Amino acid sequence: MKHLNIWVKGKVQGVFFRKSAQEMAYSLQISGFVQNEKDGSVYIEAEGMDEDLDEFIEWCNEGPDKAEVTEVKVSKGAFRNFEDFEINYR
């Protein structure tokens, strides 16, 4: 199990990116959260098995149908043992 911090840039707000990310995370048994950022990007913290996280990152590079992803940055973080995958609204 590992923890990743993921930043997704492009046309990723207003296209159901967060809800789609949550659904993909559930299907891959990934825990964590997703939230919109003020700069128009999406920020995700995700925890799971290596191969599941790899598939999730691959999905993040595409996103849902109406998204136009231009950049995905990933860094490792400290494991936080999330119990669910939530959408944070701020």
Catalytic residues: 18, 36
User: DSSP letters of 20-81?
Assistant: HHHHHHHHHT-EEEEEE-TTS-EEEEEEE-HHHHHHHHHHHTT-STT-EEEEEEEEEE----
